[in-house]
């Protein structure tokens, strides 16, 4: 196999070389500075390489070297709390070498080779082990990092040590094969598992509109499409902060530098509500901003997914945020055009749909060798140009994902956040989660959700009439529908991500809000029969109390008081009048 060749042609990040005979997706070192690239096409004796760095100044005739290895991620203790670029180079380490701006040809290993980790075995010499089985543990930040038998390795443990080791030290020998704490895995291929399970447990996010109306499951897939400024990044940050996954992988894929800076500066300061430690202790950040090389952007989602699969294989629930898949698709489009491939719709490559499916299909809830479960829930932000949801990336994503949170520019203009449109969003998991909600929240929770959705639907129909004849022309009963649905919108659906109380709403509180609004509606219907006007009902004190309760420290106590007689009492006084 020829390992050295020459550059034949350069077209931006796409370099054609001759004189080497690699396999598809092998990593090639290009030019004098040995820039890292990947084989994406082989035509006769010519090899087409996608280079992950800027190629300006690279000339035909320069040397290329075939490493014989695909692009791999290094997996082991030390991933949590790290900030990587798209090909898993640690950005803080690169910064020491080259300052604030990335220079070319600089590389650093994904895992620190000098750090020592205390390893405690959980199996002993003579035990038989299978791929994916846990052989020992290492404390890492806020979790217990489980060292598992690498895929393809099995047999009897000849030897296993305990003590402090680096990630490259041999900690065990299995049927003659040395095993280290670090594993390497090619990023474009999913890690193996025994079987996928049905998604039947919700990913609790603390965001009322998501948990109550459009839930995502552990192991589920969701998309947040929306125009510029509608709050995709804030929504994804809320999910990263508050969802009940043990590990968060956040891929800033082609986002603007200032948005990524905000993530990098706020995450280390955030406190994890579960442990009280910094949230960064259970987060891996992959930052590939819009001014970084396009080809590395294309690789970044696979790097993030491979890291997520590694923690899934330990039995953890992982939530992966890809922000945004549109920029990833744009990177594919740019490389495809340089390869002179036949363009598909809007210039995107014909394989756009296949690549998106390949990525989202790696989500799921899987059974591990010890019968425990691990999951990856994927939420991809989509940034359609001009907010046009009919464009190819959004449409292809919607064919694959089962939850759709549609962000709406009109809601943003009305300062309604999160700006998720309740009429166009949907979740195909709702029905399958009903039993979980009945068992863990309340027997009537699914009924309350259906009632709320029906009410919002009715309001949308009435709004069309209101625009024609004005609200005064409506009968009292329809005025009440508008009033109660306004309560649902303002009290329940609106949520302030930046307020310390309102930023997270547990399921019990969400249930109480819906129950109170439904009770309010039922009492108000009776009051209408007793000739009380909607105007009087809308000015009730309890309505203002409910509105302001979201921002009060003792919110749960306020809701309990309203439920335990406060609401009924105030309606009784109305009846007396």
pLDDT at 363 over 70: yes
- Report residue 559: phi and psi, to 5°: -65, -40
pLDDT at 1 over 70: no
The pLDDT of residue 577 is 45
Helix residue ranges, H only, 319-475: 325-338, 352-360, 392-400, 409-413, 430-440, 445-469
pLDDT at 499 over 80: yes
How distant is the alpha carbon of residue 344 from its chain centre?
28
**Chain mean pLDDT for the chain:** 91
The pLDDT of residue 102 is 64
The pLDDT of residue 576 is 45
Confidence band, pLDDT 50/70/90 cuts, at residue 484: very high
| pLDDT digits 0-9 by tens, 11-59 | 988 999 999 999 999 999 999 999 999 999 999 999 999 998 888 899 9
The pLDDT of residue 101 is 65
pLDDT at 525 over 90: yes
Confidence band, pLDDT 50/70/90 cuts, at residue 99: low
| pLDDT digits 0-9 by tens, 116-171 | 999 999 999 999 999 999 999 999 988 999 999 999 999 999 999 999 999 999 99
Instruction: Provide the token pair at 133.
Output: 């089985």
The pLDDT of residue 575 is 64
Confidence band, pLDDT 50/70/90 cuts, at residue 566: confident
What is the set of domains in the chain, with CATH numbers? 4-70 (2.40.30.20), 82-106+194-424 (3.40.50.300), 117-181 (2.40.50.100), 441-576 (1.10.1140.10)
Q: Of 318, 26, 317, give the one whose Cα is nearest residue 188.
A: 26
Residue 283 burial by Cβ neighbours in a 10 Å radius (0-12, 13-18, 19+): buried
- Please compute the mean of the pLDDT values over residues 515-522 and round it to a whole number: 96
Reported as type and span, the H/E element at residue 114 is: none
Does this model's pTM top 0.85?
yes
| pLDDT digits 0-9 by tens, 381-433 | 998 888 888 999 999 999 999 999 999 999 999 999 999 999 999 999 999 99
- Please compute the mean of the pLDDT values over residues 275-297 and round it to a whole number: 82
């Amino acid at each position: 196999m020829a390992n050295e060749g020459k550059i034949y042609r350069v077209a931006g990040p796409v370099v054609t070389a001759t004189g080497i005979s690699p396999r598809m997706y092998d990593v090639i070192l290009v030019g004098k500075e040995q820039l890292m690239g990947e084989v994406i096409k082989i035509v006769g004796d010519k090899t087409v390489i996608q280079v992950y760095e800027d190629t300006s100044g690279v000339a035909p005739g320069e040397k290329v070297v075939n490493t014989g290895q695909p692009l791999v991620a290094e997996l082991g203790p030390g991933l949590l709390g790290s900030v990587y670029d798209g090909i898993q180079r640690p950005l803080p380490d690169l910064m020491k070498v080259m300052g604030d701006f990335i220079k070319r040809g600089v590389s650093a290993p994904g895992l620190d080779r000098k750090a020592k980790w205390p390893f405690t075995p959980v199996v002993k010499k003579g035990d038989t082990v299978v791929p994916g089985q846990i052989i020992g543990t290492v404390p890492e930040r806020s979790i217990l990092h489980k060292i598992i038998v690498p895929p393809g390795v099995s047999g009897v443990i000849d030897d296993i040590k305990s003590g402090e080791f680096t990630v490259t030290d041999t900690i065990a020998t299995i049927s003659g094969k040395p095993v280290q704490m670090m594993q390497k895995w090619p990023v474009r291929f999913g890690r193996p598992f025994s079987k996928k399970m049905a998604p039947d447990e919700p990913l609790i996010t603390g965001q009322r509109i998501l948990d109550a109306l459009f839930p995502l499951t552990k192991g589920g897939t969701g998309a947040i499409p929306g125009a510029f400024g509608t709050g995709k990044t804030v929504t994804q940050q809320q999910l990263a902060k508050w969802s009940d996954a043990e590990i968060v992988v956040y891929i800033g894929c082609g986002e603007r530098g200032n948005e990524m800076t905000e993530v990098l500066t706020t995450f280390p300061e955030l406190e994890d509500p579960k442990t009280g430690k910094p949230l960064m202790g259970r987060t891996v950040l992959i930052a590939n901003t819009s001014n970084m090389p396009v080809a590395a952007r294309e690789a970044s989602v696979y790097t993030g997914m491979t890291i997520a699969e590694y923690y899934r294989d330990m039995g953890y629930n992982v939530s992966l945020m890809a922000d945004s898949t549109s920029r990833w698709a744009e990177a594919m489009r740019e490389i495809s055009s340089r390869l002179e491939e036949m363009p598909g719709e809007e210039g995107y490559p014909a394989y756009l749909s296949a690549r998106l499916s390949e990525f989202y299909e790696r989500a799921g809830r899987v059974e591990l060798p010890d019968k425990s479960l691990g999951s990856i829930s994927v939420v991809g932000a989509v940034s359609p140009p001009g907010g046009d949801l009919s464009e190819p990336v959004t449409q292809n994503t919607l064919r694959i994902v089962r939850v759709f949170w549609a962000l709406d520019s009109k809601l943003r203009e009305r300062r309604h956040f999160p700006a998720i449109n309740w009429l166009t969003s949907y979740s195909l998991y709702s029905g399958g989660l009903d039993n979980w909600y009945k068992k863990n929240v309340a027997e009537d929770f699914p009924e309350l959700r259906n009632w709320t959705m029906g009410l919002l639907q009715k309001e949308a129909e009435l709004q069309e009439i209101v625009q024609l004849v004005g609200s005064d022309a409506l009968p009292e009963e329809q005025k009440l529908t508008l009033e109660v649905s306004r309560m649902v919108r303002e009290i329940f659906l609106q949520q302030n991500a930046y307020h310390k109380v309102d930023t997270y709403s547990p399921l019990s509180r969400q249930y109480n809000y819906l129950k109170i609004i439904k009770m309010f509606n039922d009492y108000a219907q009776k009051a209408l029969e007793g000739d009380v006007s909607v105007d009087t009902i809308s000015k009730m004190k309890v309505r203002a109390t409910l509105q302001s309760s979201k921002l009060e420290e003792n919110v749960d106590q306020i809701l309990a008081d309203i439920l335990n007689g406060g609401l009924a009492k105030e309606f009784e006084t109305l009846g007396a009048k």
